[in-house]
């Protein structure tokens, strides 16, 4: 396995400084975000698509730091009833750039459609009652998501991208192992998981069990932690407070190791290896209580120690 970094974790730094910091923590792989839920601080999608010299310059920068690309990231909602066309253009542009750079993996979301034709906002169905919820959900899958994803898979294949790594994320049609498997079964093995345990933690799933269930279907991994807070007993895991009142929330994204200790991460890495994954652990820092640079350093140190305890060599 390799330690990597989603460079949005250091979005306050310019690209050179972010690459310097990545090399300093011992990362060997980088994941760049192209948008839409990212400001894309280190990658200009349009410039890189239009300019072979710009692509060569990026590759030269990476080589100079002993780094390579693990994936490009195009997280957004391409099935949004109003903004879907713009998000889809970003996804396809990112896939085209990945192909041009020789990167086989694009991380993205499944998207979430409207509940009915004419609706202006997406509708996330999380219950089977009242009965109309199952009708909405089936329409979202059958009428919108599956036709879109079948076409996207064809497009990605044409561009030389072989792995569409879908993140199981709240407010998306794919948010759990069964929903990821439904998309993969319908579209094919080009669809796999971007296994980010942080979302599974707060939704109440067990990432270790998820890894076992997704054996052979994990395309990419985010190393990101979540801490369940004491207030969950009153607030529940369905948390609608914004991320900044950290002390009040029922759960928080935290630096790797601060939600689950190094022994847990050793088991996490061992489970990945048993499931056939030997790729990148891409650190994603979203801990609002810890300086980003210190956070990624701490996360890398935790992962190195976890790899040592699990007897997993890091490349």
pLDDT tens digits, residue range 143-190? Answer: 999 999 999 999 999 999 999 999 999 999 999 999 999 999 999 999
Q: What pLDDT sits at residue 226?
A: 98
User: What domains can be seen in the chain, in order of their start residue?
Assistant: 2-309 (3.20.20.150)
Structure token digits, residue 29: 């792989």
Structure token digits, residue 3: 């330690």
Vertex 111, ends 237 and 210: CA angle to 5°?
Answer: 50
Query: Is the C-alpha dihedral spanning 252, 253, 254, 256 positive or negative?
Result: positive
Cβ neighbours for 195, distance < 8 A, ≥ 6 positions apart: 168, 207, 210, 211, 214, 218, 220, 221, 222, 272, 277
Cβ atoms within 10 Å, residue 108: 27
Please state the rounded mean pLDDT for residues 41-70: 98
Contact 102, 68 (CB under 8 A): no
Separation CA 243–CA 76 (nearest Å): 19
pTM: 0.97
Q: What pLDDT sits at residue 270?
A: 98
Please state the rounded mean pLDDT for residues 79-87: 97
Q: What is the residue-averaged pLDDT of the chain?
A: 98
Q: What pLDDT sits at residue 50?
A: 98
């Amino acid at each position: 396995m390799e330690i990597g970094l989603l460079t949005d974790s250091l979005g306050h730094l310019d690209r050179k400084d972010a690459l310097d910091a990545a090399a300093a923590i011992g990362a060997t792989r980088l994941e760049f975000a192209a948008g839409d839920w990212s400001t894309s601080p280190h990658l200009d999608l349009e410039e890189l698509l239009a300019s072979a010299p710009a692509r060569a310059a990026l590759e030269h920068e990476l080589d100079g730091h002993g780094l390579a690309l693990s994936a490009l990231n195009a997280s957004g909602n391409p099935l949004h009833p109003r903004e879907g066309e713009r998000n889809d253009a970003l996804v396809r542009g990112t896939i085209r750039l990945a192909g041009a750079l020789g990167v086989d993996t694009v991380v993205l979301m499944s998207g979430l459609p409207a509940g009915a034709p004419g609706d202006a906002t997406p509708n996330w169905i999380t219950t089977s009652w009242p009965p109309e919820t199952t009708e909405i959900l089936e329409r979202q899958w059958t009428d919108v998501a599956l036709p879109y994803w079948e076409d996207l898979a064809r497009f990605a294949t044409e561009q030389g991208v072989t792995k569409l790594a879908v993140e199981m994320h709240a407010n998306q049609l794919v948010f759990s192992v069964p929903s990821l498997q439904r998309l993969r079964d319908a579209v094919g093995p080009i669809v796999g998981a971007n296994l980010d345990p942080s979302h599974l933690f707060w939704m109440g799933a067990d990432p270790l069990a998820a890894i076992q269930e997704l054996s052979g279907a994990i395309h990419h991994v985010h190393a990101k932690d979540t801490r369940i807070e004491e207030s969950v007993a009153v607030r529940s895991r369905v948390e609608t407070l914004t991320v900044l009142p950290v002390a009040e929330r029922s759960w928080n994204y935290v630096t790797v190791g601060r939600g689950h200790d190094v022994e847990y991460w050793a088991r996490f890495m061992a489970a990945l290896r048993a499931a056939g994954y030997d790729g990148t652990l891409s650190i994603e820092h979203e801990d609002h209580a810890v300086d980003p640079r210190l956070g990624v350093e701490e996360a890398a140190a935790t992962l190195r120690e976890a790899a040592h305890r699990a007897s997993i060599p890091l490349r």
